[in-house]
Structure formats: C-alpha cells, structure tokens
C-alpha cells in the first residue's frame, strides 16, 4: 500500500491505496464520490473526466499515486451548497443530457474549456468535448448547454 | 485489470536513473496514457513501475534560433500544443498535437512517454523525424544522442537499454524556405491514425528542392523514411506529377499490415495519397 | 386538444449534480463482487474446469457454475434456449461459464483469470448460409430459428406488369449498442429473505419472471427495481447481469454487485443482426411501384434473443412506407456460433430501410424521376393498404414529412463531390401482432401529492418526464403536485419493455386513462373547486385507497402464419431524413455536413425530448452508415469500435409533423427508433449522389467506399 495525499473538492485526504489503483478507483471507491463514471477504462470515452490541477484528465488512466499532492475537482465539487454552478444550470435548462452517464465528464470538460475561454466558438466547443462520448443526444443539446453556460459565466444571462 | 506492482517515485532525475538501474522488470511511466491501457489489457505486468512524470528537470520547452528546439521528456502534449514558440517556429508540431487523441490525453500524456511507447501509429514520431529531430536518452552512467529515426527498432520496441530513459528531443532550427506538413487518416477525428504521412521540404534560392524528408506513420513496425522518393525530389522544381510519383513510391516502400480498420492494400493506397498531398502542402508553404 | 408540450426533464437535476445513482454506484457494506468467466472459443464441449487456483485465492468466497442453478438453467425473452451458465457446451466466444465471487472487485477479477477451462473444440458455424446448409447442428430443433413470409397480391403478375425491374443485394454487419454505461446490477436479501435486485435495465417485470424460473422461487419473493440507466437501445432488454446477481445472492446471502467492464459489455451484449438482403422492385414507367420481392437471411448468433421478432419485423417493413400491390417478402434467422444478435433500436428495420431506400433511388434514376417525387407518388396515406393488407385509417403523416423536407431538397446545390440523399421510413408502434399492454396506477399521498406508479423504464429517452407531463395535462395540475414511482415490481404494475418506441404511445395512454379516472374522482371531491389533495386524501383513505388505474393494449390482430395478413400494429410512425455529405474521392473519407429530419409523431408531447431523440438517432445513423462494425473475436473495446464524437456531427434540424393518432395519448405516437431508421439510408443515397457509386454494404467506411470508387 502507498500513502496518497490528495485534495478532492477542497477537502484533504490521506489515504492508503494500492499502487495499481487508478485515480478513478480512489475517487469512487475510497472517497465514495460516484458521480465520476467508468465507461471504458481506457481513456476513450471521457466519462471519468475530472479536473486535476486545472486540467481535464481521464481519471481511469491516471494512477492514483500520480495524483499525489495534487488537487482534484469532481462533479460533486461544482455546486456550492444549493447553488448550482452556471454550467450545471445551463445543462439543466437546456436539457443537455438524456441517460446522463456522460454528463459529469461532459460538465468537467466544459468547465476547463470555459475557465480558459469565455467565449468559445462552435468549433472550439466541439474540439474541447471530442474526448467525451455521448450515445444519446447527438451532442446538439450539449453544445447548446455549453454556449448557454458561457453566456451565464460572462454574466449575459 | 492492472496486475500488482511496486510503485517507485524518485525525487530527481539522478535518483530516477539510479532506481531504474537497480530494479529488474521495471517499466517507466511518464503519463501512462498508453502504458496503463496495455497494463489493463494484461499485455504487460511489470514488477516495478517507475514514475518520472513529475520530474521537473525534464519538463521544458526551449528554443534558440541557432540551436533550435529542445523539449524535455516529461513535457506534456498539451504544453507543446499550447507553446507560442513552437507555434511560431514549428506550426506542424502544434497541428499534429491538436489532433492527438483528446484534450484529456494530451493534458497528461508526455512526449517522452509517447516516443518510448513506440506505437507505430503514434503521431509525434513521423513529424519529428521529418523535422530531422534527434533524441537523447540516458542512464545513470551517461547519455547518448541519435537521430530519432534510429531510435525505433520494431513494434513497441526501441533502442533503449536497461536503465535508460528518454531525456530530450531536439529539433534543429528551421531552415530558410522550409516547411513541413502532417496528416493522419482516421475514421474518428480523435482516434489513432489508420496511417499517416509527414513531409518536410526545404527549397533553395531558385525554388528547387534542397532537402526533403518523407516519413510514414503506421506503415510498418517503425516510422519510416521514404528515401527513394526523397532522392527523386531533390534538386527538382515544383511539379505535381513528381509529388504523385513520390506518393506512388511511398505506397510501395512501406510494409503496413491489415487489421480490422483497414487492409494492407488500402493503407498503401492512402499512404500514397497522403504523401502526395503533404509534399504539395509543405512545398507550397516553403515557397511562402 | 392543446397541450403545453414542455416540461424540463425531471431527472436533470440529479444528473448535473452527479447524484443520479446508477447500479454500479450503489454500495452496501459487506457486499461481494462478481465476475463472469467466459468461453474463449466459439464452439466446443467443456471437458474440464480447473478452479483450484481461483478457489484458494485470498478473498474468493465462492465460484458458481451451472450445477448451482436450483431452477431451470434457461432463459430467453421469446424462446427459452439460452443457458445462464453453459451446461456442457459453449456456442459463442464470451458465453458465461462460471461466476467468481470475491470480497472486492479486483480479487474476483484476478481469481477469474486463474480458472482454466479445457474444451473439445467443435466445428464452427460462422455464417448463416453455412448454417442453413446443415452439417453442424447448433440446437436440438435445428439451425433455423425463424422463417416468416409476408405475401400480398400476385408477385409474378406484379413483375410482369412492371416496365422496369431493379434487383440488388445489400449487406449489413453487427453493431454494438455502445451505451456509455456498461451493464450493472446489485442484489441483496432483505430482512424477510426476499431477493431484491437493482439493475440497469429496460424492463423489470420480465426479469423477475426469468429469475423466478432460474432460482425456482416464486415471483412474490423477488423484487426488481430499475436503477438510473445509462442508455439501453435494446441491449438491456435481455437478461444482462440480473441472473448472475440473483444466483450469487441466493448462494451467499450477501449483497452482490456485478458490473461489466466495457470489454465484457462488448463480449456479452446482444448485437444488431447482420442481414443479407436480396431486393427486387418492379415499377411502371410513371414510377408506380408494382411489385416488391425481398429475401432476407439473418445471423441470429448462438441463441434466440429477439431473433424471431427481428425476422418478422423486417418482413413486415420490407416495402418501406410505400403502397405496393404485390409483395413477397421472406425472412429467415439462422443460428451460428457468432455473438447473440438481439434487439437494437429498430429491430432490423434500419437495415431493411437501407435496402428499400436504396431501391427507391435506383428506381428513380432508372425512370428519370426525382427521388422525392417517386416517394410521394408511392407513399402510404390514409386508405392505403400495407404489405400485410392492413388498411391505414388514421395518423398517416408520411407525405407531410416529405413535404417538410421538400424546400431543402429543391434548394439543394450540388457541387464537386457534395451530394444529397433522402431516406424515408415507417415503423409500427409496439410489438408485432401480439398483445403488448401497459398499465398505470395513480395514488394520492398524505403530503398532498399525486403519485404516478409506472413500470415503464426510463433509459435516458425521457419517459419519466413525458408520462408525468401526460398526468399533469390530463389532471390540469402542475409539475410540483405530482411525483413518480418508477419501474419497481413491488410498487408498479407491468408496463412492458422500453422498446419498440412504445412507452409514450402505450404507457402514455395507460397514464392518461388512469388520470381520467382520477380526474372524475377529483372533480367529485371538489379539487377543481379549490379543495386540496391532502384534504381529499382523507376521504380517499376512508374508502380504502381505491387505485386509479389505466390499461391500454393497442388494437392489433395476429398475423397469419403463412402470409402475415393482419394488423400487426395499431399505428405507425413515419419519417424522412435528408443528408448532405462531402466525399473525398481519393481516400474515401465521408463527412456528413447537414441533416434535415422530419417526423410524424402524432402529437408532440415534449418537443425538446423529441428533438433530442432525433438528433441522437441521427448520430447513431451516422455510425451505422460510416464507421461502426463489430467483428466477432476482434472488436474488444471502444478503442476499436468507433462511435461518432462531437467532431463527427453535422448541422442538424428536426421538424415535427403532427397527424394525430386517435388511440394515442393526446394523439401521440413514438419516435425513439424512427429517429435512427432512415439515417443510414439517407447517407448511402447522398454518397451515391456525390460520387456516382452506390454502397451496397454498411458500414460504408473508407475502405469499402474506396473500393467502390
């Protein structure tokens, strides 16, 4: 077992983890945050996307120990109390999901995009989400949600 | 399912090289965006995993107009994609990185990890070889530098000896009147290429070809130069028929294999087409 | 009747917060994890299984095999022919042989790799034609699972009277549903010793029935609850993990979680049937179709699953949405040693639509008639008779879908290697020629809410929202006044499966009928004069909680076994898609640039949901047309099974046509499968328009297209 120090959603954890555990394993099984999903286990589908030190990563292909002394944000870390993050509000209002299994990853990728780019073009939105598969929506409502989220974050709506 | 291993985390490059020398059956992880997948598939199950991703000494992008570009092994794809100095001097590298897997993978995967994994379908190697890159590897006893094209031995196999890791990639300063182009061919925008072709072209004052390098991706066990086509083009002036001829040579001088995504025959065809197109593109950019 | 047509998805809030609980997210203290050990060969006798190493692996609790099944070791939604765990023989790569139960998932997984199965290999039947020729017998009753014919008029006369005859052969391959959530389920025994299972599923009552037989325990002792489900598309209709979870709980008396990895999902779930379609069309010079003769051979894989359903549905839909006086459609499903093919969005109709829509375009070209015109000319309309001689009385909005697309079709500008194509379809709502009812029940709660109990599984398509909307509309109440109790065999009645685009139409109608019963009661009790539900609740309680129930079984008639004459469906949905593509002639790369889609949904209950379904169907259709292909023994994961990403999507616009269906709730029909069905056909026709060569095989990926060029 290895000792892992990790900050998740603002909270510090000191955990004993198996060396081969992935960051996803630790988030879901040790910390108990199950909003982050495993869709493929090999970094194709993006359902496991979390934000680590400001970057979107596929937590299924990052070893937990690689996240030592780093800061991770998961879907559970976006809302503040009862107040939804503007991206969550936008996905809610635009109906940017169907089965919802890809939604946490989609929202995390969106957050990284919008944190760095307040007014992304359609092409930039597509590009930022190319590592997040959705099988239900044909992506249209997801794009609309991202655009609405950008407007909210710019304070326009 | 990843098999059990012991995790080694050195504090410095020196320590990393010392640890690597000490441990048999040890795999270096430097981002692990490919390694963890093959480990999950059970294709490899090392006893030790040596993590060098966090080693800051190898995380750099340096550019000097004379010396060229030096990229440390732990530099991520995303850092290369976002580098202004690379965008300005080697735009083809940025274009290549933009199409490498997804943002998530580029954020965590490194150039050193990518090259050491030696996947024949990897994107960076053909482009870097077209740019005449060298690679520096080292172990606790010293370092050696070689042309990147000599680094690859076979599918997923490199010249790295026991205890050796990738340290740096060096790309010479761009010559005047030169340009490079790269395209991979795939079904999904973000997927690995079915095949790929990179071309770099340097012209002389009269617009004739002074130097040219053509490199194919996923066209055999290692990224491969198409020297016969390069020879054909040297000294010649812009001629689309020549590009077509070079493309034809490319489709002949390669050894792609059939798999579920494409047959060998189709791969050869597309390699020819891409090579022709990349030569034309690079040439036109080199002309300015 | 005017309705609001709008309600936010009721599940959206928990989904954006990451709080929705999918089966694999549930954790119960002390639970075990199960991993299935599968056959590595396509066909053989099991000679010996060596469990020794796995049994002694630290943390392994139990290993179960077919010997441990107390009831009948067989299941199947239509024909019971599939063992839960292989008996003495395996018939496909991935067939389950044993279950390893461990204290944690990695223990079970590691131990499962230590089990050695020895086989005596048998000859492999790798395609349906080989299967038909006999030799190797895959099941005791032979290799032919199903054989159906649809006969109308006089086919020979039809061709004799035709001026032009077009005859072609089409092929499609296996596809995977590739829902983003792999299969998962959790089970435990409650304090009364009842077996409780929560799983990712499209039907709860069917699964209770199967588990009852497998374990030989009465249905009352079993409760199945649907967890939030991350997509289904037909792949979670069959038993996935439920039987294994049930057996594991039965033997260990401990909670057990089984969740498949993506690789296991690919190995185990049912596939879209690969079909070989010979299609012959005869038409008059003016474009009137006189005769259609279709011969379909399908690979149903090792076990029946929905093979016979697909077999019949393909034959019934063989003509497409056109009135054809003379029809002879014949369809067969054969067992092979390939993966089990089953239900996947459209039950074979997307495949046959590829054929009939290609035929329409070829015929149009032969006769020099515009593709849109030839479709309008032959279109089903009120009073038309289908291939099963069913007279269409109401809600036949097909021509309106063509008219909705017409401005874009007429305005198309062909240039270079850009091309345009049309695809049309009709699709029968609900199961084919059999009873397929749904029920709904409404209760009042002490807190003053109106609770809708429905067995309908929302798998992402949005039935939770639509059914509540129908409730609200019927009762004239607000979303905050109602709550939903969903898909739980203890608390909800049987609504049938979420399949065949039937939930809005059938369960929606059941909800509406239940709500009308309640409405009459509420009117009497003064609700509409301002008396609150909490207050009414007391008199409701005093009367012993009479339930307000609704039941709807669409009026169908069984089909004649020889000719399929009859009324297979109460009503049909209709749609037309138009695709614009650009083709790289040299490499074969196809980019879908734009899609217009028009759907006759009867009545749009929730416009946003409908459009979401249509866009999602287009995405899946792009996959079917251009990139998706499951190759048995080779395709392992999403790394080598491509589905469309955000970068592959065209600009899309959806149009809703409303020709109300009197039997549906407020006139509604379904849209889930229609959304997908015509899309691949439209792309194939667009490719032909662009480069002049026609794909006869899907997916028309780069290499196949290049070969054609």
Phi-psi region of C235 (alpha: psi -120 to 50; beta: other; left: phi over 0): alpha
Across the range C694-707, mean pLDDT stands at: 91
CB contacts of A20 in chain B (<8 Å) are 2-5, 39
- For C284-328, how does the pLDDT look when each residue is reduced to its tens digit (9 = 90+)? 999 999 999 999 999 999 999 999 999 999 999 999 999 999 999
Strands (E), chain B: 6-8, 26-29, 48-51, 61-64, 68-72, 134-139, 142-147, 152-154, 157-158, 165-171, 178-185, 195-203, 209-217, 224-225
**CA gyration radius, chain C:** 26
C87: closest CA among C97, C99, C75, C101? C97
* φ, ψ at B233 (rounded to 5°): -85, -25
A41, A47, A91 member nearest C16 (Cβ): A91
Q: Which residues pair with C228 in a beta bridge?
A: C22
Q: What is the DSSP letter of C275?
A: E
Mean pLDDT of chain B: 96
CATH superfamily of domain region C31-122+183-259? Aldehyde oxidase/xanthine dehydrogenase, a/b hammerhead (3.90.1170.50)
Beta carbons of B108 and A55 less than 8 angstroms apart = yes
Residue C116 pLDDT: 97
**pLDDT for the residue B189:** 65
CATH number, position B213: 3.30.390.50
According to CATH, the topology of domain C148-176+271-432+562-708 is Aldehyde Oxidoreductase; domain 4 (3.30.365)
Contact B270 C587 (CB under 8 A): yes
Q: Does residue B1 belong to any structural domain of this protein?
A: no
Q: In this model, does residue C506 exceed pLDDT 90?
A: yes
Q: Residues 23..42 of C with a Cβ closer than 8 Å to A: which?
A: 24-25, 27
What confidence tier does C135 reach under pLDDT thresholds 50, 70, 90?
Answer: confident
Contact (CB, 8 A) for C705 and C697? no
Domain spans of chain C, in order of start: 31-122+183-259, 148-176+271-432+562-708, 437-552
Cβ-Cβ contacts under 8 Å between B and C: the total is 46
- Judged by CB atoms closer than 8 Å, whether chains meet at B187 and C701 is answered as yes
Cα–Cα distance for residue pair B163/B54, rounded to 1 Å: 18
Token output for C423: 């695809």
Q: Which residues pair with C43 in a beta bridge?
A: none
Q: What CA–CA distance (Å, rounded) separates C321 from C399?
A: 10
Q: Tell me which chain A residues have a C-beta less than 8 angstroms from the C-beta of B78.
A: 55
Among C40, C12, C35, C8, smallest CA distance to C636 is for C40
* Residue A4 and residue A14 in contact, taking contact as beta carbons nearer than 8 Å: yes
pLDDT of B75 over the 80 cut: yes
Cβ distance A66 to B5 less than 8 Å, yes or no, reads no
Three-state DSSP at A52 gives: strand
- Check residues A90 and B192 and name the one with the higher pLDDT: A90
Burial (0-12, 13-18, 19+ Cβ within 10 Å), B245:
middle
In the sheet that C256-259 helps form, which strands lie side by side, from edge to edge? C60-64, C96-102, C32-38, C256-259, C184-189, C195-199, C222-226
- A2-77 falls under which CATH superfamily? Beta-grasp domain (3.10.20.30)
Distance CA C334, CA C575 (A): 31
Q: Is residue B267 part of a domain?
A: yes
pLDDT of residue C709: 84
Q: What angle (nearest 5°) sits at the alpha carbon of residue A37, between those of residues A33 and A41?
A: 125
Angle C215-C210-C269 from CA coordinates, rounded to 5°: 115
Q: List chain C residues with CB under 8 Å of B270.
A: 587, 702
pLDDT of residue B190: 57
How does pLDDT run across C102-127, given as a tens digit for each residue?
999 999 999 999 999 999 999 999 99
**Residue C40 above 90 pLDDT?**
yes
Each residue's pLDDT tens digit, A5-51: 999 999 999 999 999 999 999 999 999 999 999 999 999 999 999 99
In Å, what is the CA distance from B242 to each residue of B131, B245, C420? 21, 5, 35
Most distant CA atoms of chain A, gap in Å: 50
**Is the separation of the CB atoms in B107 and A57 below 8 Å?**
yes
Residue C384 has pLDDT above 70, yes or no: yes
CA dist., res. C567 & res. C321, Å (int): 15
Q: Which long-range contacts (CB under 8 A, 24 or more apart) does B229-232 make?
A: B229/B253, B229/B275
Measure in Å the smallest separation between the Cα of A56 and chain B Cα atoms: 5
Q: In whole numbers, what is the pLDDT of chain C averaged over residues?
A: 97
Choose the closest CB to A100 out of C27, C230, C619. C230
* Residue B87 counted as domain residue: yes
Q: What pTM value is reported for the model?
A: 0.97
Name the residue facing C627 among B187, B266, B270 (closest C-beta): B187
- Smallest CA–CA separation between C614 and chain B, in Å? 22
CB contact under 8 A, A131 and B36: no
From the list A28, A29, A57, A25, the residue with the least C-alpha distance to B53 is A57
Nearest partner of B199 among B285, B131, B98, B103, judged by Cα: B131
Q: Does C701 touch chain B if contact means CB atoms closer than 8 Å?
A: yes
Q: Domain tally for chain B?
A: 3
ipTM above 0.90, yes or no: yes
Residue B31 above 70 pLDDT? yes
Looking at B141, B171, B201, the residue that finishes a domain is B171
Residue C667's pLDDT is what? 98
CATH 3.30.365.10 for domain C437-552: yes
pLDDT bracket for residue B191 (50, 70, 90): low
Q: Under CATH, domain A86-153 is a member of which superfamily?
A: [2Fe-2S]-binding domain (1.10.150.120)
Q: Yes or no: say if B138 and B17 are a contact pair by the CB < 8 Å rule.
A: yes
Tell me phi and psi for residue B8, to 5 degrees: -115, 130
Q: What is the pLDDT of residue B12?
A: 97
If phi over 0 gives left and psi between -120 and 50 gives alpha, with beta otherwise, what is residue C18? left
Same fold, C148-176+271-432+562-708 and C437-552: yes
Task: Please check whether residue C650 is in contact with residue C420, taking contact to mean a CB–CB distance below 8 angstroms.
Answer: no
B42 with B61, same domain: the answer is: no
Residue C387 predicted with pLDDT over 80: yes
Residue A156's pLDDT is: 83
- Contact: A65, B102; criterion CB under 8 Å: no
Helix boundaries (H) for chain A = 23-25, 86-94, 103-116, 122-128, 140-153
Can you count the helices (H) and strands (E) in chain C? 18, 23
Domain positions in chain A are 2-77, 86-153
What proportion of chain C, given as a percentage, has pLDDT over 70? 100
β-pairing, A2-8 vs A70-73, is parallel
CB contact under 8 A, B103 and A56: yes
Model confidence at B237, pLDDT cuts 50, 70, 90, reads very high
Nearest to C110 among B1, B37, B189 (CB): B1
**Closest of C334, C300, C402 to residue C129, by C-alpha:** C334
- What was the pLDDT predicted at C1? 62
What's the pLDDT at C707?
86
CA distances from C50 to B57, C38, C62, C67, C110 (A): 51, 14, 14, 15, 15
- The residue-averaged pLDDT of C491-506 equals 97
- Phi-psi region at C153: left, alpha or beta (left = phi > 0; alpha = psi -120 to 50): left
Instruction: Find the CATH number of the domain harbouring B10.
Output: 3.30.43.10
Torsion-angle region of residue C212: left (phi > 0), alpha (psi -120 to 50) or beta?
A: alpha
Euclidean distance between CA atoms C398 and C676, whole angstroms: 16
Evaluate if residue B188 carries a pLDDT over 80.
no
Disruptive mutation site among C106, C113, C259, C587 for chain B (greatest number of B CBs within 10 Å): C587
Tell me the mean pLDDT in the region C533-541.
92
Q: Is A56 left (phi over 0), alpha (psi -120 to 50) or beta?
A: beta
Percent of chain B clearing pLDDT 70 (strictly above): 98
* pLDDT reading at B219 higher than 80: yes
Kindly state the average pLDDT of the residues C321-338.
Answer: 98
Selecting from C16, C106, C230 the residue whose C-beta is nearest the C-beta of A107 gives C16
Task: Return the pLDDT at C634.
Answer: 93
Q: What is the chain B residue with the closest CA to C637?
A: B41
- The answer to whether C629 contacts B189, with C-beta atoms less than 8 Å apart, is no
Cα atoms in the 13 Å half-sphere on the side-chain side of C161:
16
Q: How confident is the model at residue C74 (pLDDT cuts 50, 70, 90)?
A: very high
Q: What is the mean pLDDT of residues C333-355?
A: 98
Mean pLDDT of all residues in B78-90: 98
Residue B86 lies in a domain: yes
Domain that residue B129 falls in: 56-171
């Amino acid at each position: 077992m290895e000792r892992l120090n990790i900050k998740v959603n603002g909270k510090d954890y000191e955990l004993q983890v198996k060396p081969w555990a992935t960051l996803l394993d630790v988030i879901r099984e040790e910390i108990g945050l199950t909003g982050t999903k495993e869709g493929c286990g090999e970094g194709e589908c993006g359902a496991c996307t979390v934000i680590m030190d400001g970057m979107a990563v596929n937590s299924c292909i990052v070893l937990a120990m690689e996240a030592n002394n780093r800061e991770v944000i998961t879907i559970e870390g976006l809302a503040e109390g009862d107040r939804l993050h503007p991206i969550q509000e936008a996905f809610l209002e635009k109906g940017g999901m169907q089965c919802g299994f890809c939604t946490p990853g989609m929202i995390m990728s969106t957050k990284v995009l919008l944190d760095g780019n307040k007014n992304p073009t359609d092409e930039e939105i597509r590009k930022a989400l190319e590592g997040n598969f959705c099988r239900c929506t044909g992506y249209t409502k997801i794009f609309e949600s991202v655009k609405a989220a950008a407007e909210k974050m710019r304070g326009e709506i | 399912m990843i098999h059990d291993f012991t995790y080694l985390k050195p504090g410095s490059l020196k320590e990393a090289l010392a640890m690597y020398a000490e441990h048999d059956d040890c795999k270096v992880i430097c981002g692990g965006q490919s390694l963890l997948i093959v480990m999950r598939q059970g294709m490899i199950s090392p006893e030790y995993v040596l993590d060098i991703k966090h080693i800051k000494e190898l995380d750099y992008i340096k550019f000097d107009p004379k010396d060229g570009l030096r990229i440390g092994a732990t530099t991520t794809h995303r850092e290369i994609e976002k580098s202004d100095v690379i965008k300005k001097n080697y735009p083809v590298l940025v274009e290549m990185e933009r199409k490498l897997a997804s943002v998530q993978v580029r954020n965590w995967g490194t150039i050193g990890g990518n090259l050491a994994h030696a996947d024949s379908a990897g994107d960076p190697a053909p482009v870097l070889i077209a740019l005449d890159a060298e690679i520096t590897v080292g172990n606790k006893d010293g370092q050696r530098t070689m042309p990147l094209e000599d680094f690859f031995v076979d599918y997923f196999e490199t010249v790295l000896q026991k205890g050796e890791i990738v340290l740096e990639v060096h790309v010479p300063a761009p010559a005047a009147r030169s340009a490079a182009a790269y395209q991979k061919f795939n079904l999904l925008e973000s997927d690995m290429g079915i095949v790929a072709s990179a071309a770099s072209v340097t012209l002389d004052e009269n617009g004739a070809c002074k130097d040219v390098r053509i490199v194919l991706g996923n066209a055999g066990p290692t990224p491969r130069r198409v020297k016969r086509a390069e020879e054909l083009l040297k000294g010649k002036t812009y001629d689309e028929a020549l590009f077509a001829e070079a493309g034809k040579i490319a489709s002949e001088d390669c050894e792609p294999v059939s798999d579920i995504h494409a047959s060998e025959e189709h791969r050869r065809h597309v390699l020819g087409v891409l090579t022709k197109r990349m030569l034309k593109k690079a040439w036109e950019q080199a002309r300015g | 009747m005017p309705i609001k047509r709008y309600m936010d998805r009721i599940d959206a809030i928990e989904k954006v917060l990451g709080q929705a609980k999918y089966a694999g997210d549930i954790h119960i203290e002390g639970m075990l994890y199960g991993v299935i050990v599968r056959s590595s060969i396509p066909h053989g006798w099991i000679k010996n299984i060596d469990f020794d190493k796995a049994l002694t692996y630290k943390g392994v609790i139990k290993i179960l095999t077919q010997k441990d099944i107390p009831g009948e070791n067989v299941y199947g939604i239509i024909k019971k022919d599939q063992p839960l765990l292989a008996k003495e023989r395996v018939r496909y790569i991935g067939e389950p042989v044993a279950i390893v139960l461990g204290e944690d998932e990695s223990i079970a997984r590691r131990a499962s790799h230590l089990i050695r199965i020895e086989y005596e290999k048998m000859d492999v039947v790798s395609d349906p034609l080989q299967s038909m020729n006999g030799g190797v017998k895959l099941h005791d009753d032979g290799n032919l699972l199903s054989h159906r014919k649809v006969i109308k008029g006089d086919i020979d006369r039809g061709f004799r009277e035709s001026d032009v005859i077009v005859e072609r052969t089409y092929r499609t391959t296996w596809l995977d549903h590739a829902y983003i959530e792999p299969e998962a389920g959790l089970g435990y025994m409650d304090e009364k010793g009842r077996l409780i299972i929560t799983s990712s599923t499209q039907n709860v009552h069917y699964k209770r029935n199967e588990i009852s037989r497998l374990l030989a325990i009465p249905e009352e002792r079993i409760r199945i609850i649907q967890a939030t489900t991350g997509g289904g598309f037909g792949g979670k209709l069959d038993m996935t993990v439920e039987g294994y979870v049930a057996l594991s709980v039965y033997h260990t008396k401990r909670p057990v979680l089984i969740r498949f990895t993506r690789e296991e999902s690919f190995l185990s779930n049912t596939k879209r049937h690969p079909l070989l379609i010979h299609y012959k069309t005869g038409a008059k010079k003016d474009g009137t179709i006189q005769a259609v003769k279709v011969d379909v051979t399908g690979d149903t894989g090792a076990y029946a699953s929905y093979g016979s359903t697909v077999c019949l549905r393909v034959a019934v839909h063989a003509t497409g949405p056109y009135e054809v006086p003379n029809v002879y459609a014949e369809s067969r499903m054969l067992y092979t040693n390939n993966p089990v093919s089953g239900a996947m969005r459209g039950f074979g109709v997307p495949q046959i639509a590829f054929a009939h829509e290609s035929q329409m375009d070829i015929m149009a070209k032969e006769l020099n008639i515009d593709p849109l015109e030839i479709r309008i000319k032959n279109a089903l309309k009120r009073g038309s008779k289908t291939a099963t001689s069913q007279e269409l009385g109401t809600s036949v909005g097909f021509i309106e879908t063509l008219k909705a697309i017409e401005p874009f079709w007429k305005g198309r500008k062909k240039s270079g290697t850009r091309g345009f194509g049309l695809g049309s379809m009709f699709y029968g709502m609900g199961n084919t020629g059999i009873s397929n009812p749904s029920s709904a029940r409404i209760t009042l709660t002490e807190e003053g809410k109106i609770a809708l109990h429905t067995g309908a599984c929302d798998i992402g398509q949005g039935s939770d929202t639509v059914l509540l909307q129908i409730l609200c509309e019927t009762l004239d109440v607000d979303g905050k006044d109602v709550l939903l109790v969903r898909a739980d065999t203890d608390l909800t009645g049987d609504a049938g499966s979420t399949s065949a685009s039937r939930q809005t139409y059938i369960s929606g109608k059941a909800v509406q009928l239940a709500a009308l019963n309640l409405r009459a009661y509420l009117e009497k009790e003064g609700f509409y004069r301002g008396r609150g539900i909490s207050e009414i609740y007391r008199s409701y309680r005093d009367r012993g909680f009479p339930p307000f129930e609704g039941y709807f079984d669409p009026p169908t008639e069984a089909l004649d076994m020889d000719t399929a004459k009859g009324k297979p469906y109460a009503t049909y949905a209709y749609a037309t898609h138009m695709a614009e593509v650009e083709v790289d002639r040299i490499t074969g790369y196809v980019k879908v640039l734009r899609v217009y889609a028009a759907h006759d949904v009867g009545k749009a209950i929730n416009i946003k949901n409908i459009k979401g379904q249509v866009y999602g169907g287009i995405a899946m259709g792009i996959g079917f047309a251009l990139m998706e292909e499951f190759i048995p023994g080779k395709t392992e994961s999403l790394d080598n099974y491509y589905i469309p990403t955000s970068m592959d999507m065209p600009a899309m616009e959806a149009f809703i046509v409303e020709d109300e269906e009197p039997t549906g709730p407020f006139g509604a029909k379904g849209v889930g499968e229609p959304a997908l069905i015509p899309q691949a056909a439209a792309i194939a026709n667009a490719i032909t328009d662009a480069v002049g060569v026609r794909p006869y095989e899907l997916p028309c990926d780069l290499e196949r297209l290049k070969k054609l060029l």
